[in-house]
Amino acid sequence: MLGSRQVARFLTMPNKHTDAEAALKKLGHHLRLGWAKKHPVSDKSLESVKNTVREQWEKEQVTERPSKSAPAPAKDKSRKPEGPDMER
């Protein structure tokens, strides 16, 4: 069980995890900005990606919306299955 001093210390201590996460996010942001500056993406490359994403999206839309086809015919329940066992 924690004493009142330990609880108070826990409540007043800065959270090291969130500080480290914030520092890593800031570092990642700066790295991405620097990379983008040194290695700009060409318009041709962007257009290629846009086309590919558009084509993939269209394919997914077609597969998600099945075409309305004629309903499946109802099976005739009075019909008996044919087979070698049924001829006896």
pLDDT of amino acid 71: 56
Look at the chain and report how many structural domains it folds into. Answer: 1
Q: Is residue 51 part of a domain?
A: yes
Q: Give the CA-trace dihedral at 58, 64, 68, 72, to 10 degrees.
A: 140
Q: Is residue 55 part of a domain?
A: yes
Q: For 16-63, what is each residue's pLDDT tens digit?
A: 678 899 999 999 999 999 999 999 989 999 999 999 999 999 999 988
Identify the band that residue 79 occupies on the pLDDT scale cut at 50, 70 and 90: low
Please state the pTM of the whole predicted model. Answer: 0.36
pLDDT of amino acid 33: 95
pLDDT of amino acid 14: 61
Cβ 66 vs Cβ 60: under 8 Å: no
Range of the domain at 52: 24-62
> CA 73 to CA 32: how far, in whole Å?
59
